[in-house]
């Protein structure tokens, strides 16, 4: 195995110098151009004698941004992507936690950044860094000091407290995951990936690093096309997109927009989905329209380098079928721990805990939170065995496949009954009129709420739920919205729904 991601880039640039690596509708970079561009950026940053703190990258969603990431790595520093489309308050919070040694930006975003950053933080324009000359000697000296356990990036994800947490991931962890993912999906140099995620989101690491390993190309699909299926599929056909790793919510959204009434993505053969539970209704829609495609359900937190388990679909699912999250990727270990810290047996519920070399290094600037989440395996008393407690519930079914059963904090005690809020959502999504929904609980008033987007009256929805749920699980409060609020990573923003409940 290589020691760092730069070796992947250099090997592929040597093997496929003129092949496109990253493209958008207006620009592209070959592997050779990407390598040379990144090395010049790295050289320029070394010359500026920056402290060892991370370098933030505040740019758009294009190939230049990927070169900026890798340029920071060439300089021997850790990069921290910040999506320029984020709200200003969140950007300020991230910069306050990160306290970067510098920020790399571009012409389009530099003026906005001036009002957001600390006055003392140096600001570098990517164009100026790119024009610098490569210093091979300086780059070589940096490389000599690099080891595979060095941190590669800090990616900020939502925290339960409402404050973003920066997850630090090493070269080795990233390479462990990408190697396993590529093998499971069967991706090679002949593939073109359709990038969906913002580049500061964990799912984007597949779009960034799979090409460096395999020689595949990533085409960054326009965000607005996901609300215009005809344009999206037309673009995918024009670019011959063969593989995607998208959020489950994107697949669901496209089905609700009747995407397949127009053209189909003709070349698409490898589809991975993750981020949230995908309903059987939405998955069967995709399977029926792309019967030759491989579908893979993937599960895992940012703290385990994107994902830790996968399940290859070998049949067309029914609309009410619960889809397993499967088995661990190579070099990952899954343990189910019960409340008494004993191991859950087959069929028993337990907290999903992850072990192995792909775990993150921890949370940036927050040692206490790191210690509370990355803990000693309670089943191992003979030696140090670090695991990550996800807070998710799961159990092994009769086939030995892991099933996801929601968050431990999504399991409530309601009028004497244990209730899974995710089960209420699953029941609601069986209605063809529901596009998306989210269930919450007001513990003080003992009221279950259901927020939903769809063309159905509250009374009709309540009646439909009574046909599938016991009476104590039927939400007392139903709130219809145009659409559910979402976090930058695409997941439902539960905190934004709480004011409706008086919380």
Instruction: Locate the domains of the chain by residue range.
Output: 1-169, 221-411, 415-501
DSSP state of 275: S
What is residue 502's DSSP assignment? T
- What is the pLDDT, as a whole number, of residue 451? 97
8 A C-beta contact, residue 363 and residue 165: yes
CA distances in angstroms from 274 to 81, 194, 301, 469, listed in the order given: 21, 15, 10, 27
Q: What's the topology of domain 415-501?
A: GMP Synthetase; Chain A, domain 3 (3.30.300)
Say if domain 221-411 classifies as CATH 3.40.50.740.
no
E strand residue ranges, 173-268: 192-195, 217-220, 243-247
Intrachain domains 1-169 and 415-501 with the same fold: no
Looking at residue 161, its pLDDT comes to 53
Helices (H), 246-334: 248-256, 280-289
Q: How far apart are CA 44 and CA 68, in angstroms?
A: 11
With H, G, I as helix, E, B as strand and everything else as coil, classify residue 465. helix
Give Cβ neighbours of residue 243 (< 8 Å, ≥ 6 apart): 185, 187, 191, 192, 193, 194, 216, 268, 269, 270, 271, 272
pLDDT of residue 160: 53
Annotation: CATH topology of 1-169: Rossmann fold (3.40.50)
Q: What is the CA radius of gyration of the chain?
A: 23
Left (φ > 0), alpha (ψ -120 to 50) or beta: where does 359 sit?
beta
Q: Which two tokens stand for residue 428?
A: 């609601």
Long-range contacts of the stretch 343-348 (C-beta < 8 A, 24+): 343/379, 344/395, 344/396, 346/395, 346/396, 346/397, 346/398, 346/400, 347/395, 347/396, 347/397, 347/398, 348/395
Q: In which residue are the tokens 């880039």 written?
A: 9
Contact 303, 328 (CB under 8 A): no
pLDDT mean for each 10 residues of the chain (503 residues)? 92 98 95 98 95 94 96 98 85 92 93 82 95 96 96 85 84 97 98 94 95 98 93 97 93 91 95 87 94 96 94 90 93 95 94 96 95 95 94 92 85 75 87 91 89 94 88 92 83 89 84
pTM across the whole model: 0.85
């Amino acid at each position: 195995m290589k020691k760092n991601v730069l070796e992947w880039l250099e090997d592929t640039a040597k093997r496929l110098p003129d092949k496109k690596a990253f493209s958008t509708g207006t620009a592209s970079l070959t592997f050779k151009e990407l390598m040379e561009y990144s090395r010049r950026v790295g050289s320029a940053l070394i010359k500026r004698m920056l402290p060892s703190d991370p370098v933030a990258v505040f740019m758009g969603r294009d190939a230049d941004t990927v070169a900026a990431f890798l340029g920071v790595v060439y300089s021997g520093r850790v990069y921290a992507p910040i999506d320029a489309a984020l709200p200003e308050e969140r950007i300020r919070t991230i910069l306050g936690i990160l306290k970067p040694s510098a920020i790399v930006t571009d012409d389009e975003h530099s003026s906005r950044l001036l009002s957001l950053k600390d006055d003392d933080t140096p600001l570098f324009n990517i164009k100026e860094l790119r024009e610098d000359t490569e210093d091979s000697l300086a780059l070589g000296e940096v490389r000599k000091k690099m080891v595979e356990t060095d941190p590669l990036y800090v990616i900020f994800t939502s925290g339960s407290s409402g404050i973003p947490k920066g997850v630090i991931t090493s070269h080795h962890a990233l390479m462990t995951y990408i190697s396993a993912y590529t093998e499971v999906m069967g991706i090679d140099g002949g593939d073109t990936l359709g990038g969906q995620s913002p580049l500061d989101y964990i799912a984007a690491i597949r779009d960034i690093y799979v090409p460096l390993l395999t020689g595949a190309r990533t085409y960054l699909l326009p965000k607005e096309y996901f609300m215009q299926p005809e344009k999206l599929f037309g673009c995918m056909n024009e670019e011959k997109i063969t593989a995607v790793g998208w959020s489950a919510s994107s697949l669901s959204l496209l089905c609700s927009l009747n995407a397949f009434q127009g053209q189909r993505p003709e070349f698409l053969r490898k589809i991975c989905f993750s981020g949230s539970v995908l309903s059987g209704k939405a998955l069967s829609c995709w399977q029926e329209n792309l019967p030759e495609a491989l579908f893979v359900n993937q599960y895992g937190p940012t703290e385990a380098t994107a994902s830790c388990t996968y399940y290859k679909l070998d049949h067309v699912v029914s609309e009410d079928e619960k889809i397993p999250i499967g088995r661990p990727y190579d070099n990952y270990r899954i343990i189910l721990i019960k409340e008494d810290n004993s191991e859950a047996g087959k069929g028993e519920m337990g907290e999903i805990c992850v072990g192995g070399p792909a775990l993150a290094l921890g949370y940036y600037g927050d040692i206490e939170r790191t210690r509370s989440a990355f803990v000693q395996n309670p089943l191992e008393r003979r030696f140090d065995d670090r695991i990550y407690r996800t807070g998710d519930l799961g159990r092994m079914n009769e086939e030995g496949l892991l099933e996801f059963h929601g968050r431990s904090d999504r399991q409530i005690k309601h009028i004497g009954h244990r209730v899974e809020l995710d089960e209420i959502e699953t029941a609601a999504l069986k209605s063809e009129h529901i596009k998306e929904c989210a269930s919450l609980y007001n513990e003080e008033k003992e009221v279950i709420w259901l927020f939903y987007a769809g063309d159905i009256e509250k009374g009709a929805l309540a009646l439909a739920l009574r046909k599938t749920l016991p009476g104590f699980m039927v939400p007392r409060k139903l709130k219809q919205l145009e659409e559910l609020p979402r976090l930058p990573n695409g997941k439902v923003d539960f905190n934004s729904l709480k004011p409706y409940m008086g919380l």
